[in-house]
Amino acid sequence: MDPAAKELVALAAAIAGKCQPCFAHHFKQAQELGIPEEDIRFAIQLAKDIRASGDKHMDEFAERRMKPGGAPHA
């Protein structure tokens, strides 16, 4: 994987992990590598979408589990 791709993955992971210092570090690295802003924004939005979907599914899972006889698995 080339350095630009690694930084885009790291940026997405920082967003998904809600790690502000990680994001700041990898954002700076991405800029220094000359990664276009459009690519950075795409990676950020992708991570936000994945995180939101995971949050939604976890919330739904927890609610199902709270019901009497709730399913023990996803």
Domain ranges of the chain: 3-66
Candidate CATH numbers 3.40.50.10610, 2.40.50.140, 1.10.3720.10, 1.20.1290.10; the one for domain 3-66: 1.20.1290.10
Q: Where are the alpha helices (DSSP H) in 2-71?
A: 3-16, 20-32, 37-66
Alpha-carbon torsion 38, 24, 1, 47, what sign?
A: negative
**Which among 12, 11, 23, 4 is positioned nearest to 46, based on CA atoms?**
12
Calculate the average pLDDT of the chain. Answer: 91
What pLDDT is recorded for position 56? 85
The string of pLDDT tens digits covering residues 15-49 is: 988 999 999 999 999 999 999 999 999 999 999 99
User: What's the angle, vertex CA 23, arms to CA 22 and CA 25, rounded to 5?
Assistant: 65
Supply the pLDDT for residue 74. 56
